[in-house]
Chain A
Amino acid sequence: MTTAVQVEGLFFGYDQRPLLKGVNLEVPSGSLTVLLGKNGSGKSTLLRLMGGLLPFEKGRVSLLGKDVRRISPSERAGLVGFLPQFHHPVFPFTVEEVVLTGRAAQVFFLPGKKDREKVRQALEALGLMDFRDRPYNELSGGERQLVMVARVLAQDPRIILLDEPLSHLDLANQVRLLRLLKDLTARGLTVLVVLHDPNTAVLYGDQMLFLKEGRILSPEKGRGPWEASFLSEVYDTPLITLPFKDRCLVLPG
């Protein structure tokens, strides 16, 4: 199995305050990898660095073997799509117009037939066809979140990075989105997603990564990441686990 995202010795901080202190990780191609950690542990920052949205000094990030700092923004857009956290636009663009902007790297002046087709596919995949002509800024938070996911799909990248895509979604939409992400990995895409709930990660993730104090924390050799002692350490909170299938679910202890 090839590596979709490789991070080596990545350091990063805001205003001299170090946040990431030598992060090393690998995301296998075609996997659904979940990045977990406490609030403020740098998950979102790490995701943005991997997406090439933030410049960094030290370390290396490769996307499908290409150094993220050596590729043009438009080439990067073909490799990696990024779902930013919540966002509220000023103008009442329709859902279709918002999703169409995902095609920006491929469009010089005006989007064409192929772009509109990609948008249609993305809207269909998320069950948003009926929302096509609705003003985006009048939708609920969850619906908007799905629209932004559709925008990433319309961009048609090989790797998709999502920052807390489940926030604002009801349970039905959470399940729908997670299944869609699973389907995407089955079609060869790589998905890396920041989540808050370790149980979702246990249920859907192929791989789980834990960020603590600026480094990736791994469970001891031969043990799964869903063990109570390990997760309690990650979240600095006593947790207990319940066996579920071949893994465990987590509860407050």
Chain B
Amino acid sequence: MSLKLRPFWFYLIPLPLALAALFFGPSEQMGPDRVLSSMRLLFGGAASADETALARSILWEVRLPRILLAFLVGASLTVSGTALQALFRNPLVAPEILGLSSGAAFGAALALSLGFLPLQATAFAFGLLAVGLSYLLARGRKGVSILALILSGIIISGIFTAALTVVQFLTDPFKLQTIVHWTMGNLHNANWDKIRSAVIPMALGGIGLFLIRWRMNVIALGDEETRAVGLNPEREKVWILLPAALAASAAVAVAGIIGMVGLAFPHMVRMLVGPDNRKTVPVSLAFGGSFLLVVDTCSRTLASFEIPIGIFTTLIGGPFFIYLLKKSRFTMGEE
């Protein structure tokens, strides 16, 4: 089922949505009128001095970075999931299912714990290592079956999750708190530093995937079908895998593992615009980012306390994955 909506409409969503999200938050001192007056300030309006300092701080140091980070993380995980599903010709894979997220999380924890490794680069290296291992483990004589890849992903994921626990165990209590907070999959300590550290790898990954988006269609048809039309499938796969791993591991490095986004969102995108990756890649960026922003806004306003977004997305995504598994005709690795 796909609705084949025109991608154009999805590009109109993010900006108004981000502006609207600025109005939501737990602070009672920050009603809509305050937000408006603080925004007006930007365009040269006047406000009283004490009011301005607080409003500016909440708006520009808390809400805005969080909105941007939620958008960037959602866009990165979704576009990465879209690319991985095309690359492995498997609608049931995603960064977290292939072990990419756990690998990146382990790398990021290692960097946070040791203190001298660069966070983003270490997350990327281990994310790539993990997804590579899953792939090699699943590869049989007759290619990679859908189910074998999921199983090997679970194993690799488990190994890196265990390794992450070991890192936590060996880390001194002061640093440990940071790591534990971050592994829960959270956006609540978003700040401009996090955005600065993640935006470059995310942009590189997103642009990379945007440029090769049509070739994903070719790869998605099969190795032999790709070779027959004059492309080297192994080389094309590397050019898809690298940016996909870059975007997803950057998201994990700043926000921890936010479950099921990379799996469920690409499906929604394909249901909305069809499977052509010329459309799914840009729509994944716009829609994935917007959707996670909505979920995050709910998670910080629905209850009197904040529900970690990773828990939120997994609760929505888990049943969705089961539904997909039941629906798909290739459940038992028949291919």
Contacts and interface: CB of A to CB of B under 8 A. Distances in A.
A81 interface: yes
B270 interface: yes
Given A109-B211, A109-B212, A109-B214, A89 B221 contact: yes
Of listed B146, B211, B215, B230, residue having the most chain A CB within 10 A: B230
B91 A91 contact: yes
A150 interface: no
A87 B222 contact: yes
Nearest to A73: B230
Interface string B200-228: 00000000000110110110111011111
Interface stretch (A59-67, A99-107, A176-184): A99-107
Interface in B251-293: 270, 274-276, 278
B217 A97 contact: yes
A238 to B, nearest CB: 36
Contacts of B270: 91
Nearest to B330: A90
A127 interface: no
A22 B226 CA distance: 29
B217 A92 contact: no
Contacts of B335: 88
A110 interface: yes
A98 B277 CA distance: 12
Contacts of A111: 214
A104 B227 CA distance: 10
B101 to A, nearest CB: 22
Contacts of A76: 230
Nearest to B334: A88
Given A93-B275, A155-B229, A101 B90 contact: no
10 A-B pairs with least C-beta separation: A77-B230, A105-B230, A91-B275, A82-B228, A104-B229, A101-B218, A74-B230, A73-B230, A84-B224, A104-B218
Given A94-B274, A104-B215, A105-B231, 15 more contacts: A51-B228, A73-B231, A74-B230, A74-B231, A77-B231, A81-B229, A84-B225, A84-B228, A92-B275, A93-B220, A93-B221, A104-B230, A109-B214, A151-B229, A155-B230
Interface of A: 51, 53, 73-78, 81-84, 87-94, 97-98, 100-105, 107, 109-111, 151-152, 155
